[in-house]
Amino acid sequence: MIHENLLQVEEKIQRACDNGKRSRKDVTLIAVSKTKPIEDIYEAIESNIMVFGENKVQDLVAKMDTIDKPVEWHFIGHLQRNKVKYLVGRVALIHSVDSFRLAEQINIESKNKNVVTNVLIEVNMAREESKYGVMPEDAESLIHLISKLTNIKVLGLMTIAPYTQNAEENRNYFKNLRKLLVDINAKNIDNVIMSVLSMGMTGDYTIAIEEGATYIRVGTGIFGAR
Ligand SMILES: *Cc1c(COP(=O)(O)O)cnc(C)c1O
């Protein structure tokens, strides 16, 4: 079933790229395997998926320790400072930095391991009480502060749009995240040139692609309901 789902998802990605005049190679599909068993991940790998996302540190570490294929892991969930050490040096990208304290901890662990950790700033575009992420107006100052840290690099922005039956309702959040990225780039902050937009999930990834997503995070659409 995962194979068939992936064929469908790929078709929809291609159509959205066409609609948005995007090149398919500029959009990376992250298969969100959270709560799903190892066998499902291997099935996706069989279908040439090599980028996976998880939202719990413990689950991610268990899966990284088990899967013996050269896959790329992304951390997409809320991150506590005491768990940063389990991720640094092992994940390609942390999508969910939303405070300077967290960034500082990532920087400390990265220095210890002599690596530079790539991160995105999570922005709460819809200003939902229940969500993590910085408010849009606070993103620039946070990025400015983080830009002074030597072992952490901000590659772009991430958002989790509201759950909705009608994905069109989220179009403006995606459009505005892209605008925010362009605006912050225009400030010419030293060491900051952002190019990554992580936005769009099963319900709304086609809209996100039309609005400039470079990473889409798709779970249910690939692995089925959780
Ligand atoms: C679970 C999750 C996804 C995937 O959600 P689906 O609706 O199943 O595609 C994407 N991003 C984040 C941050 C998630 O936690």
Cα of 67 from ligand 1 centre, angstroms:
21
Q: What DSSP string runs through the chain?
A: -HHHHHHHHHHHHHHHHHHTT--GGG-EEEEE-TT--HHHHHHHHHTT--EEEES-HHHHHHHHHH--S--EEEE-S---GGGGGGTTTT-SEEEEE--HHHHHHHHHHHHHTT--EEEEEEB-TT--TT--SB-GGGHHHHHHHHTT-TTEEEEEEE--PPP-S-GGGGHHHHHHHHHHHHHHHHT--TT----EEE---TTTHHHHHHTT-SEEEESHHHH---
Q: Which residue's CA lies nearest to atom 12 of ligand 1?
A: 76
Position 185 scores a pLDDT of: 98
Position 214 scores a pLDDT of: 98
Cα of 194 from ligand 1 centre, angstroms:
23
Position 187 scores a pLDDT of: 97
Cα of 187 from ligand 1 centre, angstroms:
31
List pLDDT tens digits, range 188-203: 999 899 999 999 999 9
Position 102 scores a pLDDT of: 98
Given ligand 1 and candidates 12, 33, 55, which is best to mutate, with the most ligand atoms within 8 Å of its CB? 55
pLDDT less than 50: residues of the chain: none
Q: Which atom of ligand 1 is least distant from the CA of 76?
A: 13
User: What is the C-alpha separation between 126 and 136, in angstroms, rounded?
Assistant: 9
Cα of 161 from ligand 1 centre, angstroms:
10
Q: Which atom of ligand 1 is least distant from the CA of 55?
A: 15
Cα of 58 from ligand 1 centre, angstroms:
17
Position 126 scores a pLDDT of: 98
Position 165 scores a pLDDT of: 94
Position 74 scores a pLDDT of: 99
| Residues having CB within 6 Å of any atom of ligand 1 | 32, 34, 55, 76-77, 160, 201-203, 217-221
Cα of 205 from ligand 1 centre, angstroms:
11
Q: Which atom of ligand 1 is least distant from the CA of 160?
A: 13
List pLDDT tens digits, range 40-63: 999 999 999 999 999 999 999 999
